[in-house]
Chain A
Amino acid sequence: MSTTAIDPVVERVGVITSPLPVAPVPVEDTWQKVKLARHPERPHTHDYISRLFSGYIELHGDRRFGDDQALIGGLACFEGRNVVVMGQQKGKDTRDNIKRNFGMPCAEGYRKALRLFRLGEKFGFPIICFIDTPGAYPGLQSEERGVAQAIAENLLVLAALRVPVIATIIGEGGSGGALAIGLADRVLMLENSIYSVASPEASAAILWHDASLASEAATSMKVAAPQILQMGLIDEVIQEPDGGAHTNPSESAGLLKAALLRNLEELEFETGETNGGIDGLLEKRYWKFRSMGAWQQA
């Protein structure tokens, strides 16, 4: 891109973003949300894929090291169009959870996602991501294989990926492990999902060296979907059935499908020839994240 691309930017640089303070919520309410987001019966990525998409073909492996079962994805058909769909997968029971590593991908999981992004870009398929992870896996192997680098590269590629990207947080969105498939044109959240800079336990450990203060950390960091919408960091909160998505998975899937379809149609309209095309979308994506932050001038 030529250097002139920055010119419209400079005018906006002076704008001071200071979002309105977000109203506090009692500790019990926040922790209730966290528990709902982590509910063992809550529909996971595969449940939504099988309910929302037809002809799903799972693709395996990152072509470099292995196949991470904590992040699944593949090709599918969504309302008459081909898409690439992926997401972190938690297990249904203990055995499944061990196989899925509790939804915590290692480096190879993110490199599988990267490969799928590129596949979508090559064939012009929109990317649909479901985020449901406490975070990337903090382990020896993960570090050895460069999980940080894998996340960083995903961010770099997503920032310039020439197809529409929609990410939905369906349960837990924790840390860089969530963001690695969450730099999207539209970021949606289910009503009872949470999105945080680190899992509440990790945040409490970082802040006060005591993971048992997780509920307090979650409350102070304001992790619930409505609060994050208020901060302007996501685009939409999708309603869930009363009592949470697990009480009526098919209704929940229906609500999610409607929201996804609407957003995808909007993005397809925006990327039309007369509306700025894909370059316009990329510029909007850049500005969406470029303007996130709260600071003041001394």
Chain B
Amino acid sequence: MSSGNLVPKNSPDPAQRFKSEKPFPAQPPKPGLDEEILWHKCPVCKELTFIKHFARNLKVCPHCNTPNRLRWNERLNYLLDPGSFVELNSDLVGADPLQFQTRTESYARKLQDTRRKTGLNDGLVSGYGRVRGQPLAVAVADFTFMGASMGSVFGEKLVRLAEFAIKNRLPLLTISNSGGARMHEGLFSLMQMAKTTAALAKLGQAQLPHIALLVDPCYGGVTASYTMVADVILAEPGALIGFAGPRVIEQTTRQSLPQGFQTAEFLLDHGMLDQVVERKNLPSHLADLLGLLKVKPLTFKQAFDFTPAFQKSFVAPEVGN
């Protein structure tokens, strides 16, 4: 008997269920609402897991330890201290500088549809929060938004966040999973590589740490820019990370690729990453790292401003409306 038969026939794709979720801080699903989606089928080992057990296991398959892709709010829920996240620059929306239009699609319409479907304005969510009490600026990419491809808004938000981190002397954590540059914005997308890396050069000059967490999948312009110049590069087990995708490499070079090519472990072996960290260990690991990469402490006033009651006054000058 194939294990697939255990899933009710009318059950929608488990990935669909995220679409109805509220933005961060996400409420746990109410009992009864998700009754029809009871099982998660692991795409790697094909084993079924009861959906509640799966969520309790931080959406990591308990049979083969494959981490499932996360929406941005789930990611931050698992990582940051509850209620500590404050989003910045959420109002930036992509323009259509090329008026990208082909016979079959237009970028403007695609952008509009994706915004409605995902509830996001772009593939990158930026803000600040705390990990085990330690404040940090954090940017997280959401793969459901056009593969979290890096376009103008992605770049601008990341640069603003880096500038915010410099101004407020915060360490920066970037969580990246992306298909690469956004083709629909043409050369504007390519320039985001230069722009984000230049901003991180400034962050480095201000002696603030940048920790990059690479999660599955991370390719193209995102790998070849700000992520790979981080002070510490972490990755989730099994995450696929590379410059060109395996399909492109096989087609271009006719080389047969080795087992486990471009996985996080492969990159670790080749000296491109610092550590592969399991999802459940990430908060404590990050807290340890931040503890070691000490930034000059905040002044009393800055620390005071960081408490929720004063968040508004803390954010206001930076948003720059």
Question: Footprint of B on A, CB under 8 Å?
Answer: 1-3, 5-6, 9-11, 13-14, 18-19, 21-22, 24, 136, 138-140, 142-149, 151-153, 155-156, 159-160, 175-176, 179-180, 182-183, 195-198, 202-203, 205-208, 216-217, 220-223, 228, 231, 233, 285-286, 289-290, 292-298
Contact = CB atoms under 8 A, between A and B. Distances in A.
- Shortest 4 CB-CB distances between A and B: which pairs? A138-B244, A293-B152, A294-B97, A152-B228
B281 interface: no
Interface residues of B, number: 78
Most buried by B among A21, A156, A285: A156
Contacts of A142: 243-244
B317 A175 contact: no
Contacts of B321: 14, 297
Contacts of B199: 290
A160 B206 CA distance: 13
Given A3-B167, A140-B253, A149-B228, A160 B98 contact: no
A293 B155 contact: yes
A99 B52 CA distance: 57
B95 A18 contact: yes
A146 B268 CA distance: 11
B270 A286 contact: no
13 contacts: A6-B167, A13-B318, A22-B97, A139-B244, A155-B194, A160-B201, A183-B198, A195-B187, A197-B183, A206-B180, A216-B102, A220-B98, A293-B191
Contacts of B153: 293, 295
A295 B188 CA distance: 11
A294 B317 contact: no
Contacts of A195: 187
Interface in B74-108: 91-104
Main secondary structure of the interface of A (DSSP, over half): helix
B288 to A, nearest CB: 24
B320 A233 contact: no
A196 B187 contact: yes
Contact of B190 (A3, A24, A179): A179
A143 B257 CA distance: 11
A221 B186 contact: yes
B105 to A, nearest CB: 8
Contacts of A153: 228-229
B197 A155 contact: yes
A148 B228 contact: yes
A152 B197 contact: yes
A297 to B, nearest CB: 5
A233 B194 contact: no
Given A155-B225, A203-B183, A220-B100, A179 B194 contact: yes
Interface string B203-214: 011100000000
Contacts of A143: 242-244, 249, 261-262
B183 A207 contact: yes
A19 B201 contact: no
B97 A21 contact: yes
Contact of A221 (B187, B191, B261): B187
Interface in B170-225: 179-183, 185-195, 197-202, 204-206, 220-221, 223-225
B194 A183 contact: yes
Contacts of A144: 270
Interface in B255-278: 255, 257-258, 261-262, 270-272
Contacts of B271: 146
B226 interface: yes
A88 to B, nearest CB: 16
A242 B192 CA distance: 34
Nearest to A145: B270
Contact of A298 (B93, B160, B189, B226): B93
Nearest to B296: A3
A18 B270 CA distance: 42
A159 B197 contact: yes
Contact of A152 (B204, B227, B242, B318): B227
Contact of B187 (A145, A149, A233): A233
Given A13-B320, A155-B194, A155-B225, A148 B243 contact: yes
B186 A196 contact: yes
